Amino acid sequence: MAAMIAFNEYDCVIGSRILDGQALKGGMPFYKYVSNRCLTFVQNQLLRKRLSEYHSGFRGFSKEVIKNLPLNECDDDFIFDNEMLAQLYFNKYKIGEISCPTKYFPEASSINFARSVKYGLGVLNVSLLYVFAKLGIYRHKIFKRNGKKLDITAKLHYYHREKETTDEN
């Protein structure tokens, strides 16, 4: 995945649980598999693309993508990943796929059925917003070129914990 990005073959690479045909054998719940296939079909039709799936969390991105897309305009929920893929296509970035294993166990996914339904409806919404933006009918904030970008120089406190001072120091 990293090599595909490092050698400028793709700007984003997605690990697909579908390519090797092992998604169900790897424990993916049947309803999630069917939903994945249906949503992917609809998205491929609306976005006029051919990904094997849009819903894997295993992804890699080039620095240029992180720096240039208006990612601060995206939602702060599961739909973020899908909005980002639509932004990539809208901005003519190249997306590649590789096969990755499917392993489902209780701690593997934090999205329950109700949130899965919300996500599915969000996917349909993002796809329609993409179509509207491409047709020039309506450009949602996630597709605006001057949208809010990430500050890649900012210190991320979530990942960098400050050294705690104690009386012993």
Q: Give the closest residue to 65 by CA, choosing from 55, 74, 56.
A: 74
pLDDT in tens, 9-33: 999 999 999 998 989 998 888 988 9
Q: Give the closest residue to 12 by CA, choosing from 95, 92, 91, 70.
A: 95
pLDDT value at residue 72: 94
Threshold 0.85, pTM exceeds:
yes
Q: Give the closest residue to 34 by CA, choosing from 48, 58, 55.
A: 55
Q: Which residues of the chain have pLDDT under 70?
A: 106, 108-110, 156-169
pLDDT value at residue 151: 86
pLDDT value at residue 108: 66
